[in-house]
Amino acid sequence: MGSFSIWHLLIVLAVVLVLFGGRGKISNIMGDFAQGINAFKKGLKNDKDDVPPTASADRKPTETIERG
């Protein structure tokens, strides 16, 4: 229970290599991820701008009648 097996050591070694193995790997991955999110948001914004107004926007709002 208190000892580490070879699998524990291999997993820890793999995590250390991923985090510290290359020069700026994690920052490059996160930068690419952020650029993808920004491109997605811009695409959604452009889609909203391209939608023509609906016919219901031309009508005036209905009035409510209060009963009392």
Q: How far apart are CA 29 and CA 25, in angstroms?
A: 6
Is pTM beyond 0.75? Reply is no
- Alpha-carbon distance of 22 to 29, in angstroms, equals 12
Helix 25-50 with 6-20: angle, nearest 10 deg:
60
Non-local (6+) Cβ contacts of 25 within 8 A are 18
**Could you report the per-residue pLDDT of 11-61, keeping only the tens digit for each?**
998 888 877 776 677 778 788 889 999 999 998 888 766 666 665 555 666
Cβ contact 19:26 at 8 Å? yes
